[in-house]
């Protein structure tokens, strides 16, 4: 009897392994998936280290994240009404140079540099701004041109922070002007806001604005709508993303609330994220579901299923806490949940350095299993659904640098059919040419050439090059048979 029980358990374990393996393989084979990572500055990792050291640090991080399969970087450029880029509206950030208002030496533009570095690696760059936070607790000196110094009447203090008052239209206009400046001057793929709207509440400390909860929500709603319209009026293809706190409302507060017991976007932060999603005032949503599967107050499985049910009107990506996931040994289980919730189209890692440091083998598992093959970005047909023309004149050429495959960009009449990147697929002799299979993608590049791995000219391959527009709508493929 004992042997039979053990035998049955072995069968269950074996079956579980097969199911897990199939699930992992399916996750790894997703052709379109947002694979993002947040790179923050507010933790001080770049503060005062100088231009050369910061570029070295970021280069290493981007190289490792590229190996992990990351295809989008969300880079913090405005932590407290300041800038990690040259701005006539706001001062240089102390999180860059150590002193607010001081330009970096040697001089450089971190945002422009990051755009170039990410695009060279086939990654998107989303500029991350904190809208209302004007001064963090650790900031002791503000630049003379900082908004708190110039317009103290437009701010209020709360728990050591200084906040731009969301009730004031001039503050909404100001933040939108900052967004317009970034989007108009930089080739960003997206602009991103996190969960800091009204400040996180402190027990027993009321907000000093004298407004009701409904009024506060309405002020933020007006801002979100205006912000979205501002970005798309400036450049229609730039994606607007918002990363709210992981709980919208608890069930005790609303019939459609999640079976959780924690801080609430709607009631405590005055952020009606479902209204924004359903009204189309953002292009993607990244709820920060940082808890574990089985967490008593905020169970991960409960929340990912809740967001999948109620927030599917726009692409849904999940904000993952690497360190907490590793501590609970739940990377594989969470990946399976991603695969089981149809609305989930991607992940954003909190935070990038934890993946780079390979905490708990998290990065190794990404590159060897879950994100082994490249992925294109999820489609956003509400912004653009027309594919560009296919690449022209695909031809191999011997150069001083070896055997190189060249092609020419398709003709374009507007931004909506302009090719900005290319996907290159490779198929061995006898393999069916199937561009729906991401395991054959060998490069996603902004270049119009790719160096070929020539050996002795005896192996036959078919290469297929497709054009991707700014929203990564994909053209038909241009084929070329080669001997390598």
Mean pLDDT over 61-67 rounds to 98
Check residue 435 and give its pLDDT: 97
Report the mean per-residue pLDDT for the chain: 94
pLDDT digits (tens, 9 = 90+) for 266-316: 999 999 999 999 999 999 999 999 999 999 999 999 999 999 999 999 999
Check residue 44 and give its pLDDT: 94
Closest CA to 474 of 408, 422, 416, 407: 422
- CA dist 237 and 235 (Å) reads 6
Give the model's confidence band at 216: pLDDT under 50 very low, under 70 low, under 90 confident, else very high. very high
What strands, in cross-sheet order, belong to the sheet with 161-164? 133-135, 161-164, 155-158
- CA dist 16 and 22 (Å) reads 10
pLDDT digits (tens, 9 = 90+) for 393-446: 999 999 999 999 999 999 999 999 999 999 999 999 999 999 999 999 999 999
- Total residues found in the chain within this entry: 484
Give the model's confidence band at 8: pLDDT under 50 very low, under 70 low, under 90 confident, else very high. very low
According to the 3-state scheme, what is the secondary structure of the chain?
CHHHHHHHHHHHHHHHHHHHHHHHHHHHCCCECEEEEEECCCCCCCCCCCHHHHHHHHHHHHHHHHHHCCCEEEEEEECCCCECCCCCCCCECHHHHCCCCCCCCCCCCHHHHHHHHHHHCCCEEEEEECCCEEECCCCCCCCCCCHHHHCHHHEEEECCEEEECCCCHHHHHHHHHHHHHHHHHCCCCEEEECCCCCCCCECCECCCCCCCHHHHHHHHHHHHHHHHHHHHHHCCCCEEEECCECCCCECCCCCCCECCCCCCHHHHHCCCHHHHHHHCCCCEECCECCCCCCCCCCCHHHHHHHHHHHCCCCCEEEEEEHHHHHHCCCHHHHHHHHHHCCCEEEEEEECHHHHHCCHHHHHHHHHHHHCCCCCECCCCCCCCCCCCCCCEEEEEEEECCEEEEEEECCCCCCHHHCCCEEEEEEEECCCCCCCCCHHHEEEEECCCEEECCCCCCCCEEEEEEEEECCCCCECCCEEEEEEC
pLDDT digits (tens, 9 = 90+) for 367-379: 999 999 999 999 9
pLDDT at residue 11 tops 90: no
Q: How far apart are the first and last CA of the chain?
A: 60
Closest CA to 467 of 393, 366, 362: 393
pLDDT at residue 68 tops 90: yes
More confident residue, 26 or 310: 310
Mean pLDDT over 345-360 rounds to 98
Check residue 21 and give its pLDDT: 44
pLDDT at residue 325 tops 50: yes
Q: Which range among 29-33, 157-161, 228-232, 477-481 shows the weakest confidence by mean pLDDT?
A: 29-33
């Amino acid at each position: 009897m004992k042997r039979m029980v053990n035998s049955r358990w072995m069968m269950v374990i074996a079956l579980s392994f097969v199911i897990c393996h199939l699930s992992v393989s399916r996750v790894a084979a997703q052709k379109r998936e947002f694979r993002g990572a947040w790179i923050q500055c507010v933790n001080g990792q770049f503060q005062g280290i100088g231009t050369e050291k910061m570029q070295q640090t970021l280069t290493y991080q981007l190289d490792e994240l590229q190996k992990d399969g990351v295809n989008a970087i969300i880079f913090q450029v405005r932590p407290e009404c300041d800038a990690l880029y040259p701005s006539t509206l706001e001062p240089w950030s102390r999180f860059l140079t150590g002193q607010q208002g001081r330009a970096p030496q040697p001089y450089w533009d971190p945002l422009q540099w990051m755009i170039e570095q990410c695009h060279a690696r086939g990654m998107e760059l989303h500029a991350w701004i904190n809208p209302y936070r004007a001064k963090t607790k650790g900031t002791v000196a503000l630049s003379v041109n900082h908004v708190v110094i110039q317009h103290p009447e437009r701010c209020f203090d709360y728990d050591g922070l200084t906040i731009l008052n969301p009730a004031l239209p001039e503050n909404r206009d100001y933040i939108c002007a900052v967004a317009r400046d970034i989007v108009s001057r930089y080739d960003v793929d997206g602009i991103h806001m996190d969960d800091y709207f009204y400040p996180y509440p402190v027990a027993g400390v009321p907000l000093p604005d004298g407004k009701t909860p409904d009024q506060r929500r309405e002020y933020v709603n007006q801002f979100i709508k205006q912000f979205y319209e501002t970005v798309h009026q400036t450049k229609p293809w730039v994606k607007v993303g918002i990363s709210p706190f992981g709980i919208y409302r608890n069930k005790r507060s609303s019939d459609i609330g999640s079976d959780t017991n924690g801080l609430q976007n709607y009631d405590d932060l005055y952020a009606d994220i479902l209204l924004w999603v359903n009204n189309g005032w953002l292009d993607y949503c990244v709820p920060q579901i940082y808890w574990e599967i089985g967490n008593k107050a905020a169970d991960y499985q409960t929340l990912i299923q809740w967001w999948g049910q109620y927030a599917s009107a726009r692409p849904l990506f999940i904000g993952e806490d690497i360190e907490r996931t590793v501590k609970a040994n739940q990377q594989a289980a969470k990946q399976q949940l991603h695969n089981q919730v149809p609305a989930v189209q991607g992940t954003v890692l909190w935070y990038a350095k934890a993946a780079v440091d390979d905490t708990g083998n998290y990065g190794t598992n990404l590159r060897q299993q879950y994100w082994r093959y490249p992925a294109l970005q999820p489609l956003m047909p509400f912004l653009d659904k027309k594919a560009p023309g296919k690449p022209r004149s695909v031809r191999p050429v011997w150069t001083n640098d070896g055997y190189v495959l060249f092609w020419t960009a398709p003709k374009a009449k507007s931004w909506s059919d302009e090719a900005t990147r290319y996907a290159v697929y490779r198929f061995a002799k006898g393999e069916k040419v199937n561009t729906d299979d991401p395991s054959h993608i060998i490069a996603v590049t902004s270049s119009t050439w790719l160096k070929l791995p020539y050996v002795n000219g005896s192996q036959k391959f078919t290469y297929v090059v497709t054009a991707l527009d700014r929203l990564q709508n994909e053209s038909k493929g241009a084929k070329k048979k080669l001997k390598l």
